[in-house]
Structures are given as structure tokens and as C-alpha cells.
């Protein structure tokens, strides 16, 4: 029987807030569709107090900005991007193109074609999320996307130099200092100064997420995303200090970021709560982490590991950290998560920043139907077919005629009839000639 030692605080204000976000985003997108660059500039001035002569950085500007970044930061960016690139190449290698002969002279095939233009959104409101450049741009380039447009907002009126360096080193073809809904909408619908893209990837705040949701269909997106989530699974062997530190590591993303512990040990649960409350006041990011833990933190105590894994699957969270004696059991026991982090030596922050797997992951239960961003998201898996044998052409033509007429699709049937007639002289009674 599960026991909840700490509940999340339900908030009716969330519904009203989402409605306001939806209304604002709808208006901004419509305005940008109608007025293009003028609207983009107006919203950038209003939301980011940013209105340069050109939102797109020139090659010379990029070079100057990158040169201003400390050498150690550049070295670290290169190292992390190497990890992301290597893992994305492994993913690409796992995708197989093939052609198979199913009947004499009948060849069916599959191939992968990269989208021709992708947009990468790198957030920057609260923090310069440099790592998102690695995840979105490097992965797109490994997939073979020929044009990657990368957008990031200024931070308090300043150019985020490290983020620009990461975008450049990742291989972005265009770098724009532009944020929020105006950036996403401009990439999606295009303006006089920006050609539209085919797919947009990358995390963002509620407004960015809602913009991607509303624009989906006209363009592709990586996934629908909400606030960052962490779920820590712990048995009696876990260190409650580690549990607390890792819960807070994700709570600092924002005041609406859920942080949840499920454990088989009541002692670990109580001790973790105590450690969280001890650590919170000294965190520089307590203004975000505090409300997140207060309103969205949960602690559950269960009797068995099986109950723990079952409850974890019910949450279907973005990040699941497994702090148990046998963490790899989760690979067999769990089916609904964005990414697993197995054992005390593997924290969620590694996935966010340095280890090489992609940190753009499903939230709000989306792990029930999708994984996170990966190289395949930038590829269109397409099929082709060819019939060169006359006997197979006649066989399929007759079968097509019969199958189509069962469904009352006479036009389809006649296409099949013609192939049988061309191949083996079948009569065409409907032709009348």
C-alpha cells in the first residue's frame, strides 16, 4: 500500500494561466503571419527590450563573440558536443535503409531523407541554456539537415556569448538573437528576412511550448514539452542526501517543475525531506526551487520494488533516476519514461549538460507515447516500390481490381486492370474501345 508523505499542491490558477498563454500566443502568431518582420521587431522590443539593426548575426559578429568566450568554456563545449555527436552517429547507424524483392520483379524499399530546414530554439530567459544548442543543432547536422536556423534570446539586454559559441560550434547555418513566440513563429511561417523551416526543435517556456503546439501541422516539431520533471526511485540503500540534491537540481529549472521521490523506505523518505528543507535556503536558485518543491514536490513510500516501478510508470516522467541496489532492473521493469539514469554515479544533470544523450525529452505524460529528441526526428523515413516483371504486374493488377471493387473504388480498380492488360493482355470491358 502506497503512502504519500508529501503531496503536490493543486492550483486552479494553472487553468486560467494556460488560457492566458494560449490567447497571447494565438495573437502573436496571427500578427506575425500578417505583418512579418515589423511584428517580430515589435514583440522583441516589448518582451525582450531588444531591437538591433539585424536580429541575425553576421559571420564577423559570430567570430567576434566566440573569441570573447574563455578558452576553457570553448574546450568544454567542444567536449560535450563530441559526446552528443558520437551518440547521434550511433543512433543514425542503427537506422537501416533496405530494398527487398517480395515477388519476382517487385522491389520495395525504405530510405531516410533529412528535412531540408530545421529550426533550433535555445532558451535563455532565466538561464543561458547552452546545452540545448548541442542537443538540437548537433543532432540535426548528424542527420544531414542542410540548413539549421538557430534562435536564442538576449539575456537582460546582453548577448549570451557562450550560447552563441555553442550554436556556432554545433554547426548552425544561421544564428539569430531572437526569442520567445516571435522567434518560433518567424521560423515557422517565415518573414521577409527569414525563410521558414520544416521542423522546430528545442525546449522553452510555456509560451514557446504553446507556440509550437499551435504551429504544429504547418511544420513539424520535436515534441510537446512542459516544465522539467524529475522522479527519483530509491530503496533502503540510497543516500537521502543524494536524493535531496538531485531533486533540487531539477526543481531549480522553474517554480512549476515537479520533483518526486518514490521509495521503499520510510526512513529514506523522511530523511530526504529533511535534507531538502536543510539545503533549500542556501541555494542561489531557491526562488525557483523553493516554490517548485513546495507546490509540486511529492514523496511516496511503497512496500516493494514492483510497486515502485509500477507507480513510476504511472507518472511517465521526463527524467527517472534509479538509486537502488540493482538499478538496471528498471530497464526491464519500466516502459514509460523519457530517460533513465541508472545508479548513484549517474545523475540527471549529466544528461542535461554533458553525457551525450539528448536532453530534449517528453513531459506531462507524453512518455506514454513518445521518446525524446533524437537523430531520427530530423529524418523522413520514406518508401518506394517498383514492378518490372510482367507476371507479377498482371498478378497485382488483377488483385488490385478485385480488392478495389470490394471497397467500391472503381477508379483504383481500373488502374489495376490496365496493368494486367498491359502485361498479359487482359480485357478491359469498361473501356468501350
pLDDT tens-digit series, residues 123-152: 987 778 899 999 999 999 999 999 999 999
Predicted pLDDT at 125: 72
Check 296, 300, 319, 359 and give the catalytic one.
319
DSSP annotation string for 286-304: HHHHHHHHHHHEEEEE-SS
pLDDT > 80? residue 11: no
The answer to whether the CB of 279 falls within 8 A of the CB of 303 is: no
Predicted pLDDT at 226: 87
Predicted pLDDT at 399: 98
pLDDT > 80? residue 397: yes
pLDDT > 60? residue 52: yes
pLDDT above 70: percentage of residues in the chain: 98
Check 174, 210, 229, 318 and give the catalytic one.
318
Predicted pLDDT at 18: 80
Predicted pLDDT at 224: 86
pLDDT > 50? residue 228: yes
Instruction: Output the average pLDDT for the chain.
Output: 96
DSSP annotation string for 177-191: E--HHHHHHHHHH--
- Dump strand ranges (E) for 302-416: 319-323, 339-342, 379-387
Predicted pLDDT at 225: 82
pLDDT > 50? residue 12: no
Predicted pLDDT at 132: 96
pLDDT single digits (tens) 157-187: 899 999 999 999 999 999 999 999 999 999 9
Average pLDDT over residues 52-58: 97
Predicted pLDDT at 17: 75
pLDDT > 60? residue 278: yes
Predicted pLDDT at 15: 55
Beta bridge partners of 320: 231, 340
pLDDT > 60? residue 16: no
Dist. CA 367–CA 419, nearest whole Å: 46
Predicted pLDDT at 19: 87
The verdict on whether 60 is a catalytic residue reads no
pLDDT above 90: percentage of residues in the chain: 94
Q: Which of 404, 381, 299, 322 is nearest to 96 (CA)?
A: 381
The verdict on whether 318 is a catalytic residue reads yes
Q: Give 280's pLDDT tier (boundaries 50, 70, 90).
A: very high
- Name which of 16-20, 276-280, 330-334 the model is least confident about: 16-20
Amino acid at each position: 500500500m502506497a503512502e504519500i508523505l508529501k503531496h503536490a499542491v493543486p492550483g486552479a490558477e494553472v487553468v486560467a494561466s494556460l488560457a492566458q498563454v494560449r490567447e497571447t500566443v494565438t495573437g502573436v502568431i496571427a500578427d506575425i503571419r500578417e505583418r512579418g518582420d515589423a511584428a517580430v521587431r515589435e514583440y522583441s522590443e516589448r518582451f525582450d527590450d531588444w531591437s538591433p539593426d539585424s536580429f541575425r548575426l553576421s559571420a564577423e559578429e559570430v567570430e567576434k563573440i566566440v573569441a570573447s568566450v574563455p578558452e576553457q568554456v570553448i574546450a568544454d563545449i567542444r567536449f560535450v558536443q563530441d559526446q552528443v555527436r558520437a551518440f547521434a552517429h550511433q543512433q543514425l547507424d542503427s537506422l537501416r535503409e533496405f530494398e527487398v524483392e517480395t515477388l519476382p520483379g517487385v522491389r520495395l524499399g525504405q530510405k531516410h531523407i533529412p528535412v531540408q530546414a530545421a529550426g533550433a530554439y535555445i532558451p535563455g530567459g532565466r538561464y543561458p541554456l547552452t546545452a540545448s544548442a548541442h542537443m538540437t543543432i548537433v543532432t540535426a547536422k548528424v542527420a544531414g539537415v542542410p540548413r539549421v536556423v538557430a534562435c536564442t534570446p538576449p539575456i537582460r539586454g546582453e548577448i549570451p556569448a557562450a550560447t552563441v559559441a555553442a550554436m556556432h560550434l554545433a554547426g548552425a547555418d544561421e544564428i539569430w538573437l531572437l526569442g520567445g513566440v516571435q522567434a518560433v513563429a518567424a521560423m515557422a511561417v517565415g518573414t521577409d528576412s527569414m525563410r521558414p523551416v520544416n521542423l522546430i526543435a528545442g525546449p522553452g517556456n510555456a509560451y514557446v511550448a504553446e507556440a509550437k503546439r499551435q504551429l504544429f501541422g504547418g511544420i513539424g516539431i520535436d515534441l510537446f514539452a512542459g516544465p522539467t520533471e524529475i522522479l527519483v526511485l530509491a530503496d533502503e540503500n540510497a543516500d537521502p542526501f543524494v536524493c535531496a540534491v538531485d531533486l533540487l537540481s531539477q526543481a531549480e529549472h522553474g517554480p512549476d517543475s515537479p520533483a518526486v521521490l518514490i521509495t521503499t523506505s520510510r526512513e529514506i523518505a523522511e530523511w530526504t525531506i529533511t535534507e531538502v528543507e536543510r539545503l533549500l535556503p542556501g541555494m542561489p536558485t531557491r526562488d525557483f526551487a523553493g516554490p517548485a518543491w513546495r507546490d509540486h514536490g511529492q514523496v511516496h513510500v511503497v512496500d516493494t520494488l514492483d510497486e515502485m516501478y509500477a507507480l513510476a510508470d504511472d507518472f511517465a516522467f521526463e527524467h527517472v533516476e534509479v538509486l537502488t541496489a540493482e538499478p538496471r532492473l528498471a530497464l526491464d521493469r519500466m516502459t514509460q519514461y523519457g530517460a533513465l539514469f541508472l545508479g548513484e554515479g549517474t545523475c540527471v544533470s549529466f544528461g542535461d549538460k554533458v553525457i551525450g544523450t539528448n536532453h530534449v525529452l517528453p513531459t506531462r505524460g507524453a512518455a506514454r507515447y513518445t521518446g525524446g529528441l533524437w537523430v531520427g526526428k530530423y529524418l523522413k523515413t520514406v518508401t518506394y516500390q517498383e514492378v518490372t516483371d510482367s507476371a507479377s504486374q498482371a498478378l497485382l493488377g488483377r488483385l488490385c481490381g478485385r480488392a478495389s471493387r470490394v471497397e467500391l473504388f472503381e477508379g483504383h480498380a481500373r488502374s489495376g486492370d490496365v496493368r494486367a492488360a498491359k502485361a498479359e493482355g487482359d480485357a478491359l470491358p469498361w473501356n468501350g474501345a
